[in-house]
């Protein structure tokens, strides 16, 4: 690994993790066709750290929401006493329950985790998955704009968005794109769909990192690479935060349709390269 590859991996992870274009798909493409060493090949620890870098970006972007949810969760489980005169924050409690329900479908992926990981090296499959991501974004963007928020979204909505997140563990399907689109299809307002998707990424990333970290500890840590890891993590965090701000701007002012055309273009290119390489 070099500092250049560490920064490049961090940028790809940060940008593609939150823009609806599939970080796993892009990492696989760069690894297969441009000789870029993947984070996993470099070190399982680096893979964990890159995801933590993007997680920090979510915490910075949604700090107020996260603090409010944590405070309300502690009150729900009676680990924090509500000050005199303060009432329970019902929308926050609904959001907590929805996030829990939406995370549960990921448990169903665990038995097939090893098989899913085999797809990361199959660029032909990833090309088709990127085409599918484009279709999802294209059709969801043309649906009537919904108005559901934390006060009106239902628990069934949460489960279905969670099922979309579980499906998006397949490389080439964008986690953010799939969950945002699923929310919009269920009538979520655009900004709420984005907010729910990014908050939902927190338990998903934390859970995945716990599983990977155990393997990383077994493999061992090369201390000489830590400075390069740090540079990559910073790149992932900064680019991830910029991507979050950009996608929120798109939710307010623009359209997700442009990402659909991008996914189709990169998907077709990946299929062509897979056939001729």
Give 148-195 pLDDT, tens digit per residue. 988 899 999 999 999 999 999 999 999 999 999 999 999 999 999 999
Kindly give the interhelix angle for 63-76 and 44-61, rounded to the nearest 10 degrees.
90
Name the DSSP class of 104: G
Name the DSSP class of 82: P
Q: How far apart are CA 271 and CA 131, in angstroms?
A: 10
**pLDDT for position 97:** 95
**pLDDT for position 60:** 96
**pLDDT for position 36:** 67
> CB-based contacts of 142: which residues, under 8 Å, 6+ apart?
257
**pLDDT for position 186:** 93
Which residues does residue 148 pair with via DSSP β-bridges, in sequence order? Answer: 188
Q: Please state the domain count of the chain.
A: 1
Q: How far apart are CA 146 and CA 148, in angstroms?
A: 6
**pLDDT for position 44:** 67
Helix (H) or strand (E) holding 171: none
DSSP 194-224: HHHHHHHHHHHHHHHHHHHHHHHHHH---GG
Residues of the chain with pLDDT under 70: 36-44, 214, 216, 219-222
Residue 101 token pair: 């329900």
Q: Which contacts (CB < 8 Å, 24+ apart) does range 108-116 have?
A: 108/166, 109/166, 109/169, 116/169, 116/170, 116/171
Residue 52 token pair: 């933590």
Range of the domain at 139: 3-276
CA torsion 133→134→135→136, rounded to 10°? Answer: 50
**pLDDT for position 40:** 53
């Amino acid at each position: 690994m070099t500092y250049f590859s560490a920064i490049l991996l961090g940028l790809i992870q940060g940008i593609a993790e939150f823009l609806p274009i599939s970080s796993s798909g892009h990492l696989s493409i760069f690894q297969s066709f441009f000789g870029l060493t993947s984070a996993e090949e470099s070190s399982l620890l680096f893979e964990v750290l890159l995801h933590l870098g993007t997680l920090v970006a979510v915490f910075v972007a949604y700090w107020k929401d996260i603090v409010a949810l944590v405070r309300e969760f502690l009150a729900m489980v009676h680990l924090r006493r509500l000050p005199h005169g303060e009432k329970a924050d019902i929308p926050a409690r609904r959001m907590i329950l929805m996030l829990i329900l939406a995370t549960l479908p990921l448990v169903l992926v665990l038995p097939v985790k090893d098989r899913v990981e085999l797809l990361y090296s199959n660029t032909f499959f990833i090309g088709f998955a990127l085409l599918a991501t484009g279709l999802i974004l294209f059709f969801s963007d043309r649906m009537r704009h919904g108005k559901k928020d934390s006060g009106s979204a239902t628990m069934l909505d949460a489960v279905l968005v969670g099922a979309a997140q579980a499906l998006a563990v397949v490389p080439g399907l964008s986690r953010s794109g799939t969950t945002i689109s699923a929310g919009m299809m269920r009538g979520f307002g655009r900004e709420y769909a984005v907010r729910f998707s990014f908050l939902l990424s927190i338990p998903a990333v934390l859970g995945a990192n716990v599983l990977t970290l155990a393997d990383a500890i077994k493999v061992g840590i090369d201390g000489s690479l830590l400075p390069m890891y740090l540079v990559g993590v910073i790149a992932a965090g900064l680019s991830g935060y910029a991507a979050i701000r950009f996608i929120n701007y798109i939710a307010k002012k623009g359209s997700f349709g442009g990402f659909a055309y991008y996914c189709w273009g990169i998907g077709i290119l990946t299929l062509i390269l897979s056939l001729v390489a």
